[in-house]
Amino acid sequence: MKKPAIILYVKFIRPAIALLTVLTLAPATATAQGFVPNDPYYSQQWNLTAVGMDRVWAEYGTTYTGRGQTIAIVDTGITDHPDLNGRVVDGYDFNSDIESARDGDEWDADPADEGDWPVPGTSLCRVYAVGTSTWHGTHLAGIAGAATNNGEGIAAPAFNAQILPVRVAGMCGATLSDIATGIRWAAGDYTDEMARNLVPVNRNPASVINVSLTYPTANEPNPYQCDEAIQDAVNAAVNRGATVVVAAGNDTTDARESMLANCDNTIAVGAYTQTGAQATYSNYGTSVDIWAPGGQDNEVDGILSTVNSGTTIPRSPSYAQIKGTSMAAPLVSSIVALIREANPALSPTDVQHILLDTARLRSGRRELDAYAAVTAAISAPDTAPPSSSSSTDLTDAEMTVAAVFGSLGALAVLAVIVGGLVSLPQWLG
């Protein structure tokens, strides 16, 4: 089943030890009106307030928390974590490459993240230096749906949604065909290949599928074109009612040269920093549908979420700040879960319209506004016709992009990013 095409994670730079001092603030306190989570690191989650989650909780309390929704995280799998346990439902492991998966077999029912530390010189890791495990999927899961108001760790908007871990990636990435299969299964699709491999039917089809994996297509014969198998999988998921949210990529290039941003029917998310600037690594252009917080420097404004302290295999649960469009996407996924809960009749097309129509404009970027989006979903007519397979992607030709990066700057950023994988925060473990 091994396929040649290897997709790389959205890359990010290692967090610094300075995180220790960042994480020692007092817990947030409840106010008389609304809801303020008691999670001790909530006050560090600038990404939540930047999109207006404080206002959602102030105005609507805990009315919209993603109840009845399932958010699939198609990524490296999941690890045991006190701020995720109880949120996670049975996923699957579609990583077909034994060397990458490190679990001794091809597809299997256990989506546990075995660690993705790269081993330079192996066929899968041509561009990676020595590095540590990233716990990428665990980090995304926390942003999307960490247990909230439990006096532990972080908070998340859709804290009553189910997290569906769909493992497709391992050491140094994933294959396009496994990603396509993972997207299909997450949405409740069932293929002959799944049947032949005795894959169980997904009992918790996702209403939101998050794919923070990117593949630069600039050097492909058709650089602006999405892989056919991936596009077919996305279309199948959207036809089943799932919204597919993807990272725009961290290559400082036009996102039309990055999968899955250049696929039809995906909501591609770019990243901005705590100061409101466009993150310098973020891909850009009209293929970016919406922008969300991703941070600029791990140790300063990286997005705080759940990880593990193991540098190779899992050790103990911990938290870390990581920057990237990978981290921007699952916050959008989390808000989509609130939108769907507020108005279950909305189609993926409707959801995308609401996200984009309610977005704030800043420097030509459409930025996620959680309060406006949830409010619009509540009052949206619930008689929208079902989406058709080919008309769900909005054209955003009218969107202007303020920042244009010089090639020299892009090269410099790329050089740094390629060398850096996340260094695990053992100081919190």
**CB of 30 vs Ca ion, minimal distance in Å:** 15
- Residues with Cβ within 8 Å of residue 21, at least 6 apart in sequence: none
Q: Which residues pair with 214 in a beta bridge?
A: 8
Q: Which is nearer to Ca ion, 199 or 370 (CB)?
A: 199
**Binding test (CB under 5 A) with Ca ion, winner from 54, 75, 83, 299:** 83
Phi, psi (degrees; rounded to nearest 5) at 105:
-150, 180
Q: Round to whole Å and give the CA distance between 304 and 153.
A: 9
Q: Which of residues 289-348 bind Ca ion (CB under 5 A)?
A: 289
Q: Round to whole Å and give the CA distance between 230 and 162.
A: 24
Longest dimension (CA), the chain: 59
Joined tokens for residue 126: 């041509």
**CB of 119 vs Ca ion, minimal distance in Å:** 18
Q: Round to whole Å and give the CA distance between 105 and 418.
A: 29
Q: Choose the binding region for Ca ion from 6-14, 76-84, 204-212, 303-311 (rule: CB under 5 A).
A: 76-84
Does the annotation count 212 as an active-site position?
A: no
8 neighbors 245 (Cβ within 8 angstroms): no
Is position 97 an interface residue for Ca ion (rule: CB under 5 A)? no
Does the annotation count 136 as an active-site position?
A: yes
Q: Which is nearer to Ca ion, 9 or 159 (CB)?
A: 159
**CB of 197 vs Ca ion, minimal distance in Å:** 11
Q: Which of 187, 427, 148 is nearest to 309 (CA)?
A: 427
136 neighbors 212 (Cβ within 8 angstroms): yes
Q: Which of residues 8-27 bind Ca ion (CB under 5 A)?
A: none
Q: Round to whole Å and give the CA distance between 239 and 375.
A: 25
Is position 90 an interface residue for Ca ion (rule: CB under 5 A)? no
**CB of 289 vs Ca ion, minimal distance in Å:** 4
Joined tokens for residue 196: 């032949």
**Binding test (CB under 5 A) with Ca ion, winner from 153, 182, 295, 324:** 153
Does the annotation count 326 as an active-site position?
A: yes
Q: Which is nearer to Ca ion, 110 or 357 (CB)?
A: 110
Q: Which is nearer to Ca ion, 290 or 372 (CB)?
A: 290
Joined tokens for residue 182: 């993972």
Q: Which of residues 165-204 bind Ca ion (CB under 5 A)?
A: none
**Residue entry with tokens 């959008």:** 332
Q: Round to whole Å and give the CA distance between 86 and 80.
A: 10
- Which residue out of 75, 97, 227, 251 is catalytically annotated? 75
Q: Which is nearer to Ca ion, 108 or 232 (CB)?
A: 108
Q: Round to whole Å and give the CA distance between 90 and 205.
A: 11
**Binding test (CB under 5 A) with Ca ion, winner from 80, 110, 220, 297:** 110
**CB of 132 vs Ca ion, minimal distance in Å:** 20
- Which residue out of 81, 136, 178, 282 is catalytically annotated? 136
Site residues (vs Ca ion, CB under 5 A): 39, 83, 93, 101, 103, 105, 108, 110, 147, 150, 152-153, 289
Active site residues: 75, 136, 326
